[in-house]
Structure 1
């Protein structure tokens, strides 16, 4: 597998997990504020990782392939 494919696959997996955490945080907002905050914190950390991957993925696409 090419490095671009690996980055893209990892990005998709993290994006799916991020959406699950955000939804979980939203669902807990009214019933359990602590769980909501924990889920939101994890989602923010994951978003940071996604942003770093996006930077790498964008950088890889600028180089010509041989």
Structure 2
């Protein structure tokens, strides 16, 4: 159970970082397109990691059965 809570905490932290990067990319779109692209790339990589965590979380929650 402790691993599940750590997984969830990590997922929340990554979601917050993803939102920051997307907002940063949007704000930089007009002034610095290169930096905007870098922020968007980092956000996409983070989204990929989040999707893997969601998959792991789904997989572990289905294998745990209450007694």
- Equivalenced residue count is 66
SS at 2:26 equivalent: helix
Aligned equivalent of 1:59: 59
TM-score between the two structures when normalised by the length of structure 1: 0.94
Any runs of at least 4 consecutive aligned residues in structure 1 with deviations exceeding 6 A, and if so which? none
TM-score of the superposed pair, with normalisation by structure 2: 0.93
Once the two structures are superposed, residues 47-66 of structure 1 have per-residue CA deviations (whole angstroms, 9 ceiling, x without a partner) of 00000000000111112256
- Over aligned residues, Cα RMSD in angstroms? 1.3
